[in-house]
Structure 1
Amino acid sequence: MLINQNSSRLYVVDALRGFAIISIMLIHNLEHFDYYFLPENLSPWMKALDKQVWDVLFFLFAGKSYAIFALLFGLTFFIQSDNQAKKGKDFRGRFAWRLILLLGFGIINSAFYQGDILTIYAIIGFGLIPVAKLKDSWVLIIATLLMLQPYEWINFACALLHPEVAPANPASWAYFGKMGEYIPKDSFIDTVVGNLTNGRPAVFNWSWENGRVFQTLSLFMLGMLAGRKGLFKESDSNIRFWKKALVISLVAFIPLFQAKTNVGTWYTSEALIRPLGVILSSWANLAFMIFLVSSFVLLFRTSLFNKALNLLAPIGRMSLSNYIIQSILGSFIYYGFGLGMYQFTGATHCLIIGICLAILQGIFSTWWLHVHKQGPLESLWHKATWVGRQD
């Protein structure tokens, strides 16, 4: 039986956010939570299986799950802003304070897992404030310009003038190279210090080098526009929209993926290949993300898949709590201060661990929400957001 979609809560959004959180966790497990290490003494057949598992999961989710998360971040901003606007209040000031609080959560999470995105979202999220009152057309123009990756096009144009000049190594490489100094060690304190002092600069630089800053802000704005248009509400017109989006995104993804894969055969100059690779990867991930979202929404509206997909909704409603919990558990499982499983687990074993953690998070989230209205950190974030409010 379909859940009542006429209620004010968008259950499809909860479930989609849960899907994003779980798929992010599966990728994190394969990466040993940012500590890439190939175990020794694996049999040839296990190495072959691990490669297949790695390739399939990265094809499906790498760069796409975070994109879904960013899209829904913008959607949530609209919902909260709209709720306050109906009361005659401007949400932007509270949103700025909410972002500062999110930054605090992100710093805590970064102590366990240096790949944290909460701090990045908290900083980039301020870009929503100046566009919040703009007309849809202007927001779409700005979002499109950001998604075009203007900085990388500037780099590409400069490289056309001097293709023989080899670009410097990405700044993030130096930081990532130091991870072996603390993550495999058995000191929790050294790991925390390393994550915060070395890991955060590594991830910030990596995000900039891979076009994530422009892409993320663009997706925030597109999510806000999706909220304005009510695209996640149940209606015949929205079903038609998502069907069109599914077809168009799939048609766009195929040539973009081919181009991204073969960009190295077009040029011999690394100065040209690098920015063009970032641009094409960003666009390919966007297209496949839209395909995933469209497929999810359409399947969620069917009686055959609704009940199964809605099992993800509790996880999505507790996305902040679950995201930080998975970082704490993942670092303990794989890092040297904990079980040190990075030494023994290839992609296949990591996938099994990730699936088990996902099931546990689903059980925990369902139980918690039977007793409480919000997740533990969601409740704390909500109370701190509205501290001092006078209704």
Structure 2
Amino acid sequence: MTARTPAGTPPPAARITILDILRALALLGIVIVHTHDHFNLYLPMPPAEGWQAAANSAADWAYEHLFVSKSFLLFSFLFGLSFFIQLDRREQQGIDFRKRFMWRLTLLFLLGLAHTLFYDGDILTLFGILGFALVMLYKCGTPLLITLCALCLLQPVMLMDLLNHAGLADWWPHSSGWFHTASPAASPTREFLYAHGSWGQAALWNLTQGQAGKWHFFLLSGRLWQTLGLFILGMLAGRWRTFEDAPDKRRLFLRMLGISGTLFLALLAARLLLPSRLDSALEVDAGHLLHQWENLAYTAAFVSAAVLLFTHPGLPLPARLLSSAGKCTLTCYITQTLVFTFLFFGWGLGLAQDMGPWPCLCAAVAVFLLQAWACRLWLSHFLYGPLEWLWRTATMCRMQPFRKRISQKN
């Protein structure tokens, strides 16, 4: 049985299908990146020859220019947007969902810790912590949110590092000197544990040194500020109802595509044409900063193009297949890790060194398509993915509807 809607409250709003499709595309990009990196198991690869070398080069190019960092940015933006949609719809029913959402974030963090037992690059713990900022900012005015979003996306730490090397902020301690972390000499490396250790040894490393290394990366790479900025941008997109009735907003998305695409090309040209006469440290800082902004512009262009394509009538695109995967993002994200860490690591099949960039790309796409097909089949009988239902039930602290009724299937 499903709960009745209280009298006088609007019926539950329909899902926005294009957002599910965007989640699926982000998920595809993330699994391509993770498999290319062998889920952070970096080992020297034997050289390939002939067509395999060419295929590996093509896979490396796709990884570098189409997916790495960019898919994570899209995932972050969609998380902020989903947050707003959940709270806004509850608010329309007269319910303040913020406290319940903080409990939901706590559950996400705990699930992320469990996921970390297999993969030290888990992002659920990051989202679980940074998501509390969204709860605090939910009632803030739009001008303040725009200001905070811009400050975060400008990459304040990288910008100050650049000014420091340019001699304009000598008082700023360059971020390269913030941390000095080194593993004990007798401590086995991540690569050794992943390739030759047991699952328990790898899991312990992930929860200790792996977590420290992850947060070190998020702080110094600018990923932390970027994630928070995209969370806020997603919340703003929700306030502006950007993706509601998306098929009727083609002019808006065409304009966004033109602006973001032009900006991407300009930033790419600026980074590639950095004057070689610059101080090497200054050039490196400028290149890193421009690359971060370039990735943002690329992601905005990608979102605009995807909306235009998937809302265009008559195009033979697998919208239903992708939207099914997008409704089960959490389940797919976790199962991707379970499949590929078993495939790559020593406690499983240990095939990392036998799979170069091209086989990894093929395996990532194949697993994603299999997941999408399984999700479509699953959702013909159930309302949510398995982990999505567990998360929802734990959030509400009571059993939630799971199986579809006959009327819902038809």
Structure-1-length-normalised TM-score: 0.91
Equivalent residue for 1:183?
194
> Where do residues 50-65 of structure 1 align in structure 2 (5 Å cutoff)?
50-65=56-71
Deviation digits for residues 159-205 of structure 1 (CA, Å, limit 9, x no counterpart): 22369x99857859856993123111141111111222122222211
Rounded to whole Å, the distance in 2 between the matches of 1:381 and 1:265 is 52
> Where do residues 217-256 of structure 1 align in structure 2 (5 Å cutoff)?
217-234=228-245, 238-256=249-267
| Residue 26 (structure 2) pairs with residue 11 (structure 1) | no
Equivalent residue for 1:92?
98
Larger Rg: 2
Is this contact kept in 1: 2:149–2:233, CA < 8 A?
Answer: yes
Rounded to whole Å, the distance in 2 between the matches of 1:262 and 1:35 is 33
Rounded to whole Å, the distance in 1 between the matches of 2:315 and 2:385 is 25
Equivalent residue for 2:326?
316
Amino acid at match of 1:151: V
Amino acid at match of 1:344: D
Shift of 1:261: 3.7
> Where do residues 42-57 of structure 1 align in structure 2 (5 Å cutoff)?
42-43=48-49, 45-57=51-63
Rounded to whole Å, the distance in 1 between the matches of 2:274 and 2:189 is 30
Rounded to whole Å, the distance in 2 between the matches of 1:233 and 1:259 is 35
Shift of 1:302: 1.1
Deviation digits for residues 50-84 of structure 1 (CA, Å, limit 9, x no counterpart): 12211123211111111111111011111111111
State which drifts further: 150-159 or 343-352.
Answer: 150-159
Equivalent residue for 1:267?
278
State how many pairs are aligned.
382
Instruction: Give 3-state SS (helix, strand or coil) of 1:184's partner.
Output: helix
Deviation digits for residues 218-265 of structure 1 (CA, Å, limit 9, x no counterpart): 111111111111111225762211111100011000121233345483
Rounded to whole Å, the distance in 2 between the matches of 1:72 and 1:301 is 18
Rounded to whole Å, the distance in 2 between the matches of 1:59 and 1:81 is 35
| Residue 295 (structure 2) pairs with residue 289 (structure 1) | no
Deviation digits for residues 299-339 of structure 1 (CA, Å, limit 9, x no counterpart): 11112336423311111100011101101111001111111
> Where do residues 187-198 of structure 1 align in structure 2 (5 Å cutoff)?
187-198=198-209
Amino acid at match of 1:185: H
> Which segments of 5 or more consecutive residues in structure 2 lack a partner in the other structure?
1-12, 400-410
Q: 1:363 aligns with which of 373, 381, 384?
A: 373
State which drifts further: 128-137 or 175-184.
Answer: 175-184
State which drifts further: 335-344 or 193-202.
Answer: 193-202
Percent identity over the alignment? 33
> Where do residues 17-56 of structure 1 align in structure 2 (5 Å cutoff)?
17-43=23-49, 45-56=51-62
Rounded to whole Å, the distance in 2 between the matches of 1:224 and 1:328 is 31
Equivalent residue for 2:10?
none
Equivalent residue for 2:4?
none
Rounded to whole Å, the distance in 1 between the matches of 2:248 and 2:78 is 20
Structure-2-length-normalised TM-score: 0.87
* Bigger fraction of residues in helix: 1
Is this contact kept in 1: 2:246–2:311, CA < 8 A?
Answer: no
Rounded to whole Å, the distance in 1 between the matches of 2:160 and 2:330 is 36
Equivalent residue for 2:404?
none
Shift of 1:29: 1.0
Deviation digits for residues 80-122 of structure 1 (CA, Å, limit 9, x no counterpart): 1111111222222112111111101111111111111111111
Residues 167, 245 of structure 1: alpha-carbon distance in 2 compared, 3 angstrom cutoff: closer
Is this contact kept in 2: 1:12–1:310, CA < 8 A?
Answer: no
- Superposition RMSD on alpha carbons, in Å? 2.5
State which drifts further: 102-111 or 179-188.
Answer: 179-188
Is this contact kept in 2: 1:178–1:198, CA < 8 A?
Answer: no
Moved over 6 A (4+): none
Rounded to whole Å, the distance in 2 between the matches of 1:358 and 1:50 is 20
Amino acid at match of 2:43: F
